[in-house]
Homo-oligomer: A and B are copies of this chain.
Amino acid sequence: MPARKAAATGPHVLRQMNVAAVLAVLRDDASTAAGVSAVAAATGLSRPAVTRALAELKDRGLVEFTAAGGARQPGRPAQYARFRAEAGHVAGIDIGPHKVLVMIADLAGRVVTARDSAVDSGATGPQVFDIVRGALTAAAAEAGVPLSGLWAVSAGTPGVVDRDRGEVLLAPSIPGWAGLPAVSMLREWLHCPVSIENDVNFAVLGERWRGAAADAVAEGGSDSLVFVQWGRRIGTGIFINGSPYRGSSAAAGELGFIDLVRDPDAPAGPRPADGTGPFERLVGAAAIHRLALEAGAPTGDEDDIAPLFEAAAAGDPVAVAVVDRVATRFARGLAALLLVLDPGRVVIGGGVSRAGEVLLEPVRRQLRLHTLVPVTVQASVLGEQAVAYGAVRHALDAAEERMTAG
C-alpha cells in the first residue's frame, strides 16, 4: 500500500531527497562542474534548496566549489560545484574456479584498476580466500586507494548463494568454497558493506550497465534483459523492468534444466550424479565437444571447442553442419525461455559465446521459427569482465546509501 508511505514523509526526508537529486545531476557528468542555476534547472528545485543541498554535500566531502567554468563578473566569482568522485572507491570481484578478477572504481563508476590473479585447479576455499585478499590488497595499492577508502565491496561467484546470510551454499567448481563465511571474513577485515551474489546475476548487471545492453537502457527502451551464461553449465541472469529478478526461491532462470529430449509421454527419470540438467547435457560445452568428435570435425583437448568454430567460420562443411546442429538445439531451449519471459533482449556470454556470429547467426535464424515476437540476440561485450563490472555496479549502489544518507 504505497499510500501509507506518505506518512513517513517529513522535512528531513525531503531534504535528503533533494540532496540525492542534486548528487544525481552532478554525478551524471562527473568530469565537469555545474553552476547552481544549471542544477536548479535540471532538478526542478529552487535555487535556495540547491544551495542548501550543495552545502551539505560539501560538508561530507562529496562536492567541491571552483570559480572556474564560465565567464566571471568582476567582484563576484560564479560558484561551480564538482562531484568529488575520488572521495571514495568501491571494489567488484569475480571469484571463479580459474581466476579472481578485482576491479576498483571511483564513486562515478570509473574503473581505475583491474587485476587478474590465477587460481590453481584444486585450490581449496581458504586458498581462494587468500588469493582474493592478496588481489584486493594489490589492486588497491595500484590504484593508490587505502583499504579504508573502500566504501563497498561486492563479489560474484558460481554456485548457489544465500545473499542475506552472505554464504555460498553450493559451489561444485571450487572445492571447499561452499560454507566458508567469506562475507563476514571480508567485513571484519574491511569494515565496509560486503555482498556476495551468484556470478551470472552480476554478469547481467554488468552487461546492462557497460556492456551489450547499455545503449538500449540509456535510450530509455525496454529495460528487461536476459543474460545466458553458455559454457559447460548453462545459467541465466534476468532483469525485468529495471530490477534483477531471482524468483520466489532464488531459482529463476534455470534454463539448463529444461527437458526437450525425453519422449513427452515418458515420466522423468533419476537425476545424474554430476548435477547437470537435461539442456546442459544436450548443448553445453561438453556436448558440443562430443558432437564435433562424433562428426569428425576439428576440436581441441577436453572441452576446447574453439577449433570447431574456427573451422566453421572458415567454411569447413563438416564443422558448419555441427554448428548448425548446436544452434538448432540451443534455439529450441532458449525459445522456451523467450516464450515465457518475452524479455526483448538476450545477451549470450560464457565460453561458448566466444564463437561469435558463426554460432549466433544460425541461433537467431532458428529462434525466429520458434518465437512469436522479435528479440535482439547479442554476444556479450564485456566477456570475462562482465561479472566484475556487475559487481562494481552493485557496490556503487551500496555506496550510494552512504552518499545520500543524512
Contacts and interface: CB of A to CB of B under 8 A. Distances in A.
Nearest to A20: B3
A71 interface: no
Nearest to A226: B340
A245 interface: yes
A372 B254 contact: yes
B343 A247 contact: yes
Interface string A229-272: 00000000000110101111111111101111110111111000
Interface string A328-339: 110010011101
A273 interface: no
Nearest to A332: B264
Contacts of A262: 332
Given A3-B24, A268-B366, A257 B222 contact: no
B328 A265 contact: yes
Given A1-B24, A265-B329, A253 B7 contact: no
A8 B49 CA distance: 13
Given A3-B21, A248-B222, A249-B344, A8 B44 contact: yes
Contacts of A224: 247-248
A73 interface: no
A388 to B, nearest CB: 24
A17 B44 contact: no
A404 B262 CA distance: 55
B249 A264 contact: no
A326 to B, nearest CB: 10
Contact of A264 (B245, B261, B374): B261
B332 A259 contact: yes
A245 B240 contact: yes
A52 to B, nearest CB: 13
Nearest to A44: B7
A4 interface: yes
B14 A9 contact: yes
Contacts of A44: 4, 7-8
Given A8-B44, A240-B245, 14 more contacts: A7-B21, A7-B45, A9-B17, A222-B248, A248-B342, A249-B374, A252-B340, A252-B342, A253-B339, A253-B340, A257-B372, A265-B328, A268-B370, A336-B340
B259 A282 contact: no
Nearest to A404: B3
Interface in A306-345: 325, 328-329, 332, 335-337, 339-345
A269 B259 CA distance: 20
Given A18-B6, A265-B329, A341 B259 contact: no
Interface string A123-157: 00000000000000000000000000000000000
Contacts of A17: 3, 5-6, 9
